[in-house]
Each structure stands twice: as structure tokens, then as C-alpha cells.
Amino acid sequence: MNIILFGPPGAGKGTQAQRLAEEYKIPHISTGDILRANVREGTELGIKAKGFMERGELVPDEVLIGIIADRLREDDCESGYLLDGYPRTIPQADALEQILTEIDKPIDYVINISVPEKDLIARLSGRVMCKCGASFHKLFNPPKEENLCDACGKELYQRTDDTEEAVVERLKAYNKQTSPLVQYYEEKELMKNVDGSKSIDEVFLSIKKILD
């Protein structure tokens, strides 16, 4: 199964991706998680990406295209892939198409999770994250034990780009640079829309219905 999870910041891509990866036994590839790991480790890539991410801007296309070209060639993608947070611009989508042709793994579906903007802001401002990629919310999806990850037990943290200023920039970047991909994938007849304003379980079921 070859899937792209698409949607604005806070739509629930990471939340759904974790469940879907488990359900369909395909790797969850989040470019945001990859970049954050590089920032934490202080790699050359992380140093390059840090400022863009903290300001809520997109990291330059050539950086992301390189990451995804390497990642999709790893062995675990034999079973498929679940992309989360990539592509985010038309050049990224065009590059992806070329890579997927080369490795012969065409996209099955692009799942577009849509949520009203006021809900996105509420979701991001209360989010707490784990280094393992798991996402929680202080009110909407609290961890079983306060401030500890349900999945791996590590301490949760707040993302440096979940500040009000950075969230405004991220939404702007989405509207300007990423939302044109809706039409891009609609024209290719790959886009499936899901109402992301429902509960986490309901959203999961509506995605499953499309995929099964």
C-alpha cells in the first residue's frame, strides 16, 4: 500500500499515520520527524533546517527531495510507504513522481484530512509530542500517565514551532505553497477527502474504509 497523508498543520496526519502504519504494516515516513531528529542530533541537515522550522517556514525543496529520494529506497519500503508531510510544494510532488517511477511504486491514494482553521490552532496549542513521533493533546488526547508517552514511556515535550507566531506562519505556508497540491492530486484522480474534525477513532475508520 502506497499512501500520502495530506493536510494542514494539526490536521492529525501524525496521529493517524501511527495507527495506519501499524494496521497496514508499512513504514510511517514523516519529513517533520526526520528533520526534528536531525536538529536534535545537530547534523549538517539539522543545522540547515532549524531556522526555517522555528519560524514556521518550509525548508527548501532540494533538501526535502534529497531526504525522500534516499528514504524511499530503504528496504522497509518494499511493503509500501505512508508519507506524512511530504510533498508540500508542486516541485516536491513532481520530484516524487519521478522517484516513484524509478522505483516502480506508484501512489495508490492521497488522503486529504481537512479541519477548520480554528480547530487546527486549538489542536497545535495543546499538543505534546514524544521523540518517537507519537502525538498527544493536553485535552483532546491526553497520555495515560501525565507527560509520559503511551507508546515508549519517554517524557513528552512541546514543539518549538507550536508557538502562536510559528503556527500563524505554518498556516500561511500551507495555504500559499501546499494547498495547490489538492488540485494537483485531484486532477490525477488520487485524492480522497476525509473529514478530520471528527474524533480520532472516527477519522481512522473513515480512512480505513477508503483503503480496505
Residues that bind Zn ion (CB under 5 A): 130, 132, 134, 149, 151-152, 154
At which residue does the C-alpha cell 494539526 appear?
A: 10
* The one catalytic residue among 88, 123, 138, 209: 88
Which residues fall within 8 angstroms of residue 37, CB to CB, at 6 or more apart? 46, 131
Helices (H), 25-105: 31-41, 44-55, 61-71, 90-103
In the complex, least distance from residue 60 CB atom to ligand AP5, rounded to whole angstroms: 7
Q: Which stretch binds ligand AP5 (CB under 6 A): 11-19, 21-29, 38-46, 94-102?
A: 11-19
Q: Which of 3, 26, 191, 203 binds ligand AP5 (CB under 6 A)?
A: 203
Q: Which of 135, 149, 192, 194 binds ligand AP5 (CB under 6 A)?
A: 135
| Residue 31 near residue 39 (C-beta atoms within 8 A) | no
Distance CA 35, CA 67 (A): 9
In the complex, least distance from residue 144 CB atom to Zn ion, rounded to whole angstroms: 12
For position 21 contacting ligand AP5 by CB under 6 A, the verdict is no
186 DSSP β-pair partners: none
How many residues contact ligand AP5, by CB under 6 A? 35
Question: Which of positions 57-116 make contact with ligand AP5 (CB under 6 A)?
Answer: 57-59, 64, 85-86, 88, 92
Q: What is the DSSP pairing of strand 81-84 with strand 28-30?
A: parallel
